[in-house]
Amino acid sequence: MKKWGFYLFLLLFLDLASFSIEPISVEKADGGPIDMISTCASSIKITKDNIYKGNLLLVNKDYPIPEKSVRSDIVDLRNLHEWGSGYGWLHADIRLSERVAQNFAQMVHAAEKEGVNHFMINSGYRDFKEQNKLYQEMGPDYALPPGYSEHNLGLSLDVGSSQMKMEKAPEGKWLRKNAWKYGFILRYPEDKTAITGIQYEPWHIRYVGLPHSAIMHEKNVTLEEYLTDLKEKRNITANVNGKKYAISYYPVSKTLTIKTPGHCHYEISGNNMDGVIVTTFP
């Protein structure tokens, strides 16, 4: 459950301009977390609609999402078959972005090889109607209005253990150490409540994708802090698993064209505020 505390946004100076993360060995079905990747052309056209789509959207009391921000690949986990195993469900009708569910399945299968195998999904995607019903029933101390919850995106899920509370469970400890390898972050850490505005939730994970999850894990920063630093620096680089990423922030007030290096791949995500983040890599 969520309860709004006093929201104090701390602007921290983060030295993220360039850093490396040592290569790691991660079990993956296809060589990496599954996501939408495009091959670079000589230029990319960006419109204002791009601000409200992608894996890095900030959702909080100041930045609600419009319904157009919801992932288009929302599926019922019961229908995934290949990807819907290796964990339990609290109830039968849990939904999630299909690509996020695939990455989650890869992650729990890796955990299972280390003897950590009691994951339970308690909540996934909620549409705006469901969120409003929850808000009306629970009240503002324990629920958020439609559009203000990360569960309205399709990128977040509440994960528990069928054995014990998540903060003490092996599943919780494993996620805190390893979730970033699969593109996930612990969205509401214990020591960041003043920044996120949300009390500690050891069960709530959010998909942001690599290399962003690696950077946030390495520097121990929240999504709020990460996006703020990107806006300040505009351009950073990161080496993750032997691959070099270039990450750039662009303010968007009208349609613009961004030049890209040749022979690369790219991903675009809005920040749900005022611009987009373009990530390019070989």
Number of domains making up the chain: 2
Would residue 40 count as lying in a domain?
A: yes
Q: Are residues 231 and 121 in the same domain?
A: no
The per-residue pLDDT for 93 is 85
Kindly state whether residues 93 and 153 are assigned to the same domain: yes
Q: What integer pLDDT is reported at residue 134 of this predicted model?
A: 93
Q: Please tell me the predicted confidence (pLDDT) of residue 51.
A: 97
Q: What is the pLDDT of residue 178?
A: 97
Residues 172 and 254 in one domain: no
Would you state the structure tokens that stand for residue 37, as one six-digit string?
């990747």
Residue 41: inside a domain: yes
Cα dist. 55→71, 72, 257 in Å? 9, 12, 21
In a shared domain, residues 202 and 216: no
88 in the same domain as 133? yes
pLDDT given for residue 9 in this prediction = 32
List of residues 6+ apart from 93 with CB closer than 8 A: 76, 78
Residue 253: per-residue pLDDT? 94
What is the rounded CA–CA span in Å between residue 282 and residue 267?
Answer: 12
Last residue of a domain, one of 151, 179, 207: 207
Q: Are residues 112 and 202 in the same domain?
A: yes
Contact 236, 247 (CB under 8 A): yes
Question: Tokens in use for 198?
Answer: 């949300």
The encoded tokens of residue 167 equal 């903060």
Q: Is residue 5 part of a domain?
A: no
Residue from 149, 154, 159 nearest 186 by CA: 159
Has residue 94 been placed in a domain?
yes
- Of 207, 223, 240, which closes a domain? 207
Q: Which two tokens stand for residue 264?
A: 């690369």
Cα–Cα distance measured from residue 215 to residue 53, given in angstroms and rounded to the nearest whole number:
21
**Residue 110 lies inside a defined structural domain of this protein:** yes
Cα–Cα distance between 243 and 258 in angstroms, integer? Answer: 22
Same domain assignment for residues 82 and 200 = yes
What pLDDT sits at residue 161? 93
Residues 227 and 100 in one domain: no
Q: How far apart are CA 175 and CA 211, in angstroms?
A: 17
In a domain, 274, yes or no: yes
Query: Which member of 98, 171, 201, 267 is catalytic?
Result: 201
The reply to whether 201 belongs to the active site is yes
Same domain, 253 and 199: no
Tell me: do 249 and 151 sit in the same domain: no
- pLDDT score, position 37: 63
In a domain, 127, yes or no: yes
Same domain, 97 and 201: yes
The letter for the amino acid at 210 is: L
Of the candidates 162, 191, 207, which is a domain's last residue?
207
- pLDDT, position 216: 97
> Which pLDDT score is estimated for 35?
53
In a domain, 249, yes or no: yes
Q: Measure the CA–CA gap between 198 and 138, rounded to whole angstroms.
A: 16
Token digits of residue 55: 């894996």
The CATH number that applies at residue 252 is 3.30.200.180
Residues in the chain, pLDDT under 70? 1-41, 81-85, 262-263
Percent share of the chain, pLDDT over 90: 72
Domain that holds residue 201: 67-207
Pair 72, 137 in one domain = yes
Whole-angstrom Cα distance, residue 91 to residue 121?
9
Residue 87 sits in a domain of what CATH number?
A: 3.30.1380.10
